[in-house]
Amino acid sequence: MKNDSEMDSTEKQKTKTLNGVQSNGQDSKGKRIDVLKTYKIYIDGKFPRTESGRYYVLKNKDGDILANVCQSSRKDFRDAVVAARKAQHPWASRSAYNKGQILYRIAEMLEGRKAQFISELSDQGLSMAAASSEVAQSIDRLVYYAGWSDKYQQVYSSVNPVESSHFNFSVPEPTGVVSILSPENYGLIGLVSTIAPAIVGGNTVVALSSSAKPLCAVTFAEVLHSSDLPAGVVNILTGHRSELLSHFSNHMDVNACIYTGDNAADIKKIQENASLNVKRPLIYSKDNWMDDSSQSPHRIMDLQEIKTTWHPIGQ
């Protein structure tokens, strides 16, 4: 609560200052000037700028500047992997119920900020109708995966009738740290559709947003930040896929790499790099991300390992 009130006063302070500037401006009627947002990346529960200090300019279709977007570097990615690794075991140790509630909470927060996402998507070229259906589908997809949180284990586990006197069972466990090259052609639904099945299964992720539509990715990070998701579970970078693709796929402390798209050379590169540490490369080339066919418990299982335990009976 204390933090909240502090933030409130900071906000007030800002507004005041801006109003002050405004009152010195030309508009004598006192028309308010907007407070523009700085779009930053999200690492370990914090919003730093890229360590590289680089940016790229994002414009709308009329050529107006929307934002100076962080052009994340290899170092940013490596920092994010450290955060994701640190967060992985504690996150996986949360109860399934708790993880489900946090995913549901993300959906709630997203619902509450629908207008902002719709406006960002439309700034980046979508019609209002398309933008609003993308946001709605994103919220629904989070609810869908929230519901799987305490169910996929039951569907995919087995008790195995071995011949010897053992209680033998197999259960899914998270693969670990997952790097995600999220879809280029969507600003929000692609990110949500790749992150949700990873984290609901106890993995932690480092995701690269669409470089053409990065605004929602940063705003989505703010949603995550206010949803009781522990720091480091999701890390989101903005930047260029061509620059980061190799690093996302060859890092030795990343267990799986999700690639979305159909560029044959990229796919080959990712699969080759994956062999360095027997990473699991997952190639999603044919998805229509807006469609329900792009959500499935198999997407959760793509990022799970099966562990089989032999427990003695009668000793």
Partner 1 sequence: MKKKSKKEDVKLKFNSSWEYAPAPESKDHVKINSSYDLFINGKFTAPDSGKYFDTINPATETKIAKVADANEKDVDKAVKAARNAYDNVWSKMPAKERGKYIYRIARVMQERARELAVIESMDGGKAIRESRDIDIPLAAAHFFYYAGWADKIDYAVPGSKSRSLGVAGQIIPWNFPLLMAAWKIAPALAAGNTVVLKPAETTPLTALKLAEIIQEADLPPGVVNIITGAGATGAALVNHPGIDKIAFTGSTDVGKIIQKSIAGTGKKYTLELGGKAANIIFEDAAIDQAVEGIVNGIFFNQGHVCCAGSRLFVQESVMDTVVRKLKDRMETLIVGDPLDKNTDIGAINSKEQLGKIKQYLKIGVNEGGEMYQSSCALPSKGFWCRPTLFTNVSQSSRIVTEEIFGPVLGIQSFRTVEEAIEKANNIPYGLSGGVWTDKGSKIFKVTSQLRAGVIWANTYNKFDPTSPFGGYKESGVGREGGLHGLMPYLELV
Q: Which residue lies nearer to partner 1 by CB, 113 or 280? A: 280
Task: Give me 152's structure tokens.
Answer: 């996929």
DSSP symbol at 294 = G
Please choose, from the candidates 215, 198, 184, 176, the residue with its C-alpha nearest in 3D space to the C-alpha of residue 86.
176
257 neighbors 179 (Cβ within 8 angstroms)? yes
Please choose, from the candidates 159, 135, 155, the residue with its C-alpha nearest in 3D space to the C-alpha of residue 219.
135
Q: Does 239 bind partner 1 (CB under 8 A)?
A: no
For residues 248-287, which are near partner 1 according to CB under 8 A? 255, 264, 267-272, 274-278, 280
Q: Does 32 bind partner 1 (CB under 8 A)?
A: no
Q: Does 156 bind partner 1 (CB under 8 A)?
A: yes
Total chain residues near partner 1 (CB under 8 A): 39
Virtual torsion, Cα 226, 228, 232, 235, nearest 10 deg: -40
Cα 48 to Cα 109, 195, 251: the distances in Å are 22, 20, 22
Give the helix/strand (H/E) hosting 191: helix 189-200
Task: Give me 89's structure tokens.
Answer: 């075991």
Q: Does 293 bind partner 1 (CB under 8 A)?
A: no
Q: Which residue lies nearer to partner 1 by CB, 121 or 274? A: 274
Q: Does 308 bind partner 1 (CB under 8 A)?
A: yes
Find the part of the chain contacting partner 1 (CB under 8 A) among 38-46, 66-74, 100-108, 159-167.
159-167
Q: Does 246 bind partner 1 (CB under 8 A)?
A: no
**Candidate list 33, 65, 128, 306; residue touching partner 1; CB under 8 A:** 306
Q: Does 168 bind partner 1 (CB under 8 A)?
A: yes
Structure-token match 């507004």, residue found? 15
Site of interaction with partner 1 (CB under 8 A): 155-156, 158, 160-164, 166, 168, 170, 175-176, 255, 264, 267-272, 274-278, 280, 296-298, 305-312, 315
